[in-house]
A and B are shown apart, each in its own frame.
Chain A
Amino acid sequence: MKALFFTLIFVVIAVACWQFVKLLGLTKGDQIATEKENNINGWLMLGLLGFIYGLMIYSMYGAKDVLLPQLSASAEGEHIDLLFKMTMTLVLVVQFVMQFFIFYFTFKYRGIKGRKAYFFADSHKLEMIWTITPAIVLAGLIIYGLWVWNEVMDTSDAENPLIVELYAKQFQWEARYAGADNELGNASVRMIEGTNTMGIDFSDKNANDDIPLMVSEGKFVKELHLPKGRKVIFKLRSQDVLHSAFMPHFRAQMNCVPGMVTQFAFTPSVTTAEMRLNKDTQAKFKHINELREKEGKEAVEFDYLLLCNKICGSSHYNMQLKIIVDEEADFNKWLAGQKTFAQLN
């Protein structure tokens, strides 16, 4: 019934709009647009331009603090950031200029009775200019973009990379380090049984030295450690539906697809401790903690995150894992403290 009530309210508002205008007697005879209307709307269009510019500036200024830290936490991410800055600059310039022309012309040439429009139907030269200019600019963007893409995706020249498996399931992450032989043992969903939540095939000789971060006794995996300065190749698997391993600070993302193993790689370049000292991070977290304090929530510290970024079900919005980047020596010490499958079984 309440729904009916709300619907009625909407109908009443709509009727009121009509009645309002009728009362004011604004319904006019002229069908196209009067000079007065052209004038008012011409000015208003100029105002809309101002609004759009204002919004651009406000958003960029207001977003300064909320954005990801400018410092990429991976070496590969630096290429992406540079490409991003170049593209974004181009985008903003084009946006600024094009919007100016649209609204300025709308304002300047707003209709006046008796003025003749200029019959200007074609210009081969102009058409050539605005076909070729974007083509040249885009050629540059494409070439540089593809170079970066190749740099990020190609792992064939990695020396002694760390192999880490990320295993996604509704709605948590598990992980597995490849261990002493740096090779992951085979796994399959058909092997999942009891405590073997990742479906590891223990008859595979590569499997026993693997180091799992598993869900055990209903406890979530708390954190994933990575070494600074060593290339990490992630092998991604999913148990049930599509997930996506999104690590925004590292400029890294790859889907986890049931039935296949996907891959993404990067070299962490900033430890968690270093990132906590970063200027942007500090400003952002200062702001966040102020807001949290107002709401009576406890203060938080910066941490790298792994988020799920492919809709995967009702708790998709809370499928996360903390990532900690250590100096390589600390990382090795931490890893040595973890149990291999052989030790666990």
Chain B
Amino acid sequence: MSDHHHKETYVTKYIFSQDHKMIAKQYLITGIIMGVIGVFMSMLFRLQLSHPEQSFSIIEAFLGRAGEGGVMTPDMYLSLVTIHGTIMVFFVLTAGLSGTFSNLLIPLQIGARDMASGFLNMISYWLFFLSSVVMVISLFVETGPASAGWTIYPPLSALPQAMSGSGLGMTLWLVSMAIFIASSLMGALNYIVTVLNLRTIGMKMTRLPLTIWAFFVTAIIGVVSFPVLLSAALLLIFDRSFGTSFFLSDIFISGEVLHYKGGSPILFQHLFWFLGHPEVYIVILPALGITSEIIATNSRKPIFGYRAMIMSIIAIAFLSTIVWGHHMFVTGMNPFLGSVFTFTTLLIAIPSAVKGFNYITTLWKGNLQLNPAMLFSIGLVSTFITGGVTGLILGDSALDINVHDTMFVVAHFHLVMGVSAILGMFAGVYHWFPKLYGRMMNKDLGYLHFWFTAISAYGVFFPMHFIGLAGLPRRYYNNTAFPIFDDLLHINKVITVFALIGGLAQLIFLANFFFSIYKGKKASKNPWNSTTLEWTAPVEHMHGNWPGEIPAVHRWSYDYSKTDENGELWGGQDFTPQTVPIREGEEEF
């Protein structure tokens, strides 16, 4: 940190900023824009699923030729589900969630002036922005965007003859993802280095808030697994454009035999899921970290089992890298491998259960402040469990046979990672909005937003399990080709109604978010009476975060409602900030 302040221009302050707080805001806004696109797509294809062959002018308006007459084409349907998945998983829940809160909170909560490398951080955001732009451009190409599913299994994704979306759209998808991975790796390396090296005096690893632990471990998983997806994407580009046969072999399509020989589509699946499964945890761990912090703060209680929480984050991270095969039980992989993956997969239930129990125990005998952030956090715990328990069915190879690739899977992962992570993201936004923008969000709109979102999330994904158990495959353009699924239509209609309500309810959030940036009530320094370091920094953003010295830390971050030997609250208030030295007679936890 240099002492002299060189004058900041508009460009260096708002656009090519190296300040972690500004970069966090950039991530958040980009994530929100991508989220709007992703959610809107889901509303369109929900209409198709519940009202097949019915004409909607909104479909014609937005899809143009692919929605002529108000009914989307099968190719467009597949494109929508593909891009919806890609955008939500990578652009919203990886970059939007992790990018925003890791950037905002890591320096502020560990007591650092900024990230280890502000420059790398800036590059990381702009690569993310570039990849978003490429992905959005791919929506407008003549042959349509990528449509082989977000898992882009070759040969479908490799051969333009197989489906029109596998042409230029797929190329752009791969280019966008390659840039995205570069961005994500730069971010992750920065997070790891910052957490390890730039903690303030007294901030031992065992005094870090759980948010930081979650971001830190998430970054490690990202660094371990994202390069593997990059290699898969590069090899696929080779197969598509340069005639190699990494993933392709013995293919006859459009009346001719292709030259590919000796490759294996299953190899791609191994590479894909080696990232793809850890990715689930890259998405959910930051959300769980955020939740831990918010639940403790608003329960006015320490998080229960701090060390067990850290252990389970680490255990989940470790296990997450050795369970990828459970996506591949019925791909023709050796059945013995299936057994191994069943074993490791079901083990993950143990640390996950520990986390669930610990959250519940944290609520027990608290003094719960049910503000919107807290409601979203409790909602996360609920959906994480609802979605998580069905993992026992999907993770068991024998049971997976009959539910694999059905709507049951769609319901499961949407609840356990999609809805949960997005609830965590909302919780984070409501909680740290004062830190981001120096203002408060409107609480009543926040409540309204939560209630619509929670009800519609359950309304969409709970019944969806059952249409999956009825044998309905996912990624079906419509179900009318099978009379056996005729009786599922009314359930699909219910789901669509909830989906539309839930989607529209996000407008409440958008309104609240953007207006509060400018018109929200000015925030005080520590609006939630929290113990962590970020609330000791001034409300107005400044370069370097704290004027003067960085505060030193003397205790862990969860001293809420701590009492002395007489049963009186320490200092007469129900929280003791980390900066307060251990008092006489007080035992450090």
Q: Which residue of the partner chain, among B75, B253, B462, B473, contacts A55 with CB atoms under 8 Å?
A: B462
Write the nearest CB–CB distance from A143 to chain B, whole angstroms: 10
Are B332 and A28 touching (Cβ within 8 A)? Answer: no
Cβ of B251 under 8 Å from chain A: yes
Q: Which of A243-301 contact B (CB under 8 A)?
A: 244, 246, 248-249, 251-255, 257-260, 262-264, 284, 287-288, 291-292, 300
Within 8 A of B (CB), among A122-173: 122-123, 126-127, 130-131, 134-135, 138, 141-142, 145-146, 148-150, 152-154, 169-170
Q: A68-B469, A102-B360 are in contact. Are A118 and B589 (CB under 8 A)?
A: no
- Evaluate whether A52 and B386 lie within 8 angstroms (CB atoms) in the complex, with A138-B347, A242-B265, A288-B483 already known: yes
Contact partner of A37 (CB less than 8 A), chosen from B402, B443, B512, is B443
Contact with A along B432-466 (1 / 0, CB 8 A): 00000000101111011001001100110011011
Contact B481 A320 (CB under 8 A): yes
Q: Is the CB of A126 within 8 A of B353?
A: no
Whether, in the assembled complex, A177 has its beta carbon less than 8 Å from a beta carbon of chain B, the answer is no
Task: Tell me if A17 is interfacial: C-beta within 8 Å of chain B.
Answer: yes
Contact A311 B515 (CB under 8 A): no
With a 10 A CB-CB cut-off, give which of A99, A154, A312 has the most chain B CB atoms: A312
B35 contacts A by Cβ under 8 Å: no
- Which residues of chain A have C-beta atoms less than 8 A from B392's C-beta? 87, 90-91, 141
B68 adjacent to chain A (CB < 8 Å):
no
Residues of B with C-beta under 8 A to A300: 483
Task: Evaluate whether A18 and B512 lie within 8 angstroms (CB atoms) in the complex, with A66-B487, A121-B558 already known.
Answer: yes
B97 within 8 A of A: no
A311 and B462 form a contact (CB under 8 A) = no
Most buried by A among B349, B369, B481: B369
Closest to B506 in A: A14
State whether B61 touches A5 (Cβ < 8 A).
Answer: yes
Selected contact of A314 from candidates B74, B248, B528, CB within 8 Å: B74
What band does the interface of chain B fall in when counting residues whose beta carbon is under 8 Å from A? 35 or more
Q: Are B447 and A66 in contact (CB under 8 A)?
A: no
Q: Chain A residue with minimal CB distance to B434?
A: A31
Given contacts A99-B386, A291-B486, contact A145 B330 (CB under 8 A): no
Stretch at the interface among A186-194, A201-209, A217-225, A337-345: A186-194
CB of A121, distance to nearest CB on chain B (Å): 4
CB-CB under 8 A from B374, the residues of chain A are 33
Q: How far is the CB of B295 from chain A (nearest CB, A)?
A: 10
A105 contact set on B, CB distance < 8 A: 360, 363-364, 366
Is A258 touching B398 in the complex (CB atoms < 8 A)? no
Distance between A285 CB and nearest chain B CB, rounded to angstroms:
9
* 27 A–B contacts, CB within 8 A, in A order: A6-B61, A18-B445, A26-B442, A32-B369, A32-B371, A32-B528, A33-B370, A48-B454, A55-B463, A56-B462, A68-B470, A83-B398, A117-B365, A121-B304, A141-B346, A142-B346, A145-B398, A146-B342, A189-B250, A192-B257, A257-B265, A258-B251, A259-B248, A284-B487, A288-B487, A302-B484, A314-B78
Pairs of residues from A and B, 5 with the lowest C-beta to C-beta distance, nearest first = A259-B249, A2-B61, A262-B332, A63-B466, A248-B471
> Beyond the given A240-B155, A246-B471, could you list 7 further A-B residue pairs with CB under 8 A, ordered by the A residue number?
A56-B462, A79-B398, A91-B393, A99-B382, A117-B561, A288-B483, A313-B162
Q: Measuring CB to CB, which residues of chain B are less than 8 angstroms from any residue of chain A?
A: 57-58, 60-62, 73-75, 78, 148-149, 153, 155-156, 159, 162-164, 248-253, 257, 262-266, 298-308, 330-332, 335, 338-339, 342-343, 346-347, 349-350, 353-354, 356-357, 359-361, 363-371, 374-375, 378, 381-382, 385-386, 389-390, 392-393, 396-399, 401-402, 404-406, 440, 442-445, 447-448, 451, 454-455, 458-459, 462-463, 465-467, 469-471, 473, 475-479, 481-484, 486-489, 491, 504, 507-508, 510-512, 515, 521, 523-524, 527-529, 558, 560-563, 569, 574, 589
- Which residues of A does B touch, CB under 8 Å? 2-3, 5-6, 10, 13-15, 17-18, 21, 26-29, 31-33, 37-38, 41-42, 44-45, 48, 51-52, 55-56, 59-60, 62-63, 65-68, 77, 79-80, 83-84, 87-88, 90-91, 94-95, 98-99, 101-103, 105-106, 109-112, 115-123, 126-127, 130-131, 134-135, 138, 141-142, 145-146, 148-150, 152-154, 169-170, 188-190, 192, 199, 236, 239-242, 244, 246, 248-249, 251-255, 257-260, 262-264, 284, 287-288, 291-292, 300, 302, 305, 307-318, 320
